[in-house]
Amino acid sequence: MTIDPELLKVIEKTIKEEVFKSIESVQLALLRREFLTRDEFLDAMNRMDKRFEAMDKRFEALQKRMDKRFKIALRRIDERFNNIDIGYSTVAEGVEYAIIKREFKRKGLDLDLKIRQHFTDKNHIVYPDSEDVEVDIFYYNPNIVGEAALKLSDLDKVRHFIKKIEFLEQEYDKPFQRFLFCLKVDDKIKSELEILTKNFNIELIIPKRI
């Protein structure tokens, strides 16, 4: 039996097409197993974007909590710092002492100030239970006496300073220029402080930090 050559061509062509289709299907299946299709890729990217958005939101919430805790901690430190009266030891040394010298220099007094000077008060003018008097800022000729504090929350330090002035002026039998340096004054005592310093001719200086 002889098969028509044309029919054979058609059969061969059909077989080839089917084989190619099968191969393409297998290749496509292999490719899909190894690689994402465009839609699958976009879907995966969308899922990743959502995950990143969720992570960003969690991070922002965490950052806000951390910022809040940090602000609270700073406020507590600041409150403790403000309530500590460490006078000369911090204010008249180092940076703060440089600020005080700068303020005097602005007044035309470029002096080698004596700091933390101790005197003997035999008559107990300043303290009833001690003869030792410590003066934060002292200079003789021109006569200068000064008190320094980080913060004034009450007037006790100022009243003691007034007694120190009285003691020094008796000791040297000469008047002194009087300066009170303070970086911060509690609002509740500002009015009284202004009256007190004015009555005793004390110049209140609140330096600006630079």
**Crossing angle of helices 190-199 and 156-172, rounded to 10°:** 10
Whole-model pTM: value is: 0.55
Q: Which whole-number Å values give the CA distances from 142 to 19, 166, 171, 179, in the listed order?
A: 112, 17, 15, 13
Nearest CA-CA partner of 139 in 188, 91, 172, 102: 172
Tokens of 62: 């965490």
Minimal CA–CA distance to 141: which of 166, 113, 163, 115? 113
- Kindly report whether the peptide bond that precedes residue 142 is cis, defined as omega within 30 degrees of 0: yes
How far apart CA 94 and CA 106 sit, in angstroms, is 19
Residue pair 207/165 in contact by the 8 Å Cβ criterion: no
- CB-CB contact of 168 with 145 (8 Å): yes
One of 3.30.360.10, 3.40.1350.10, 3.40.50.720, 3.40.1190.20 is the CATH number of 87-205, namely: 3.40.1350.10
Centroid of chain to Cα 101 = 26
**What per-residue confidence (pLDDT) applies to 198?**
94
Tell me, rounded to whole angstroms, the distance of Cα 74 from its chain centroid. Answer: 7
pLDDT mean values, one per 10 residues, the chain (210 residues): 55 60 58 58 67 71 70 57 45 60 84 87 92 92 89 89 95 94 88 93 80
User: Which residues are bridge partners to 114 per DSSP?
Assistant: 138
Q: What is the pLDDT of residue 191?
A: 92
Give the rounded distance of the alpha carbon of 172 from its chain centre: 45
- CA atoms of 168 and 147, how far apart (whole Å): 13
- The sign of the CA dihedral 83, 84, 85, 90 is negative
- Alpha helix stretches (DSSP H) within the chain: 5-34, 38-83, 87-91, 94-106, 156-172, 190-199
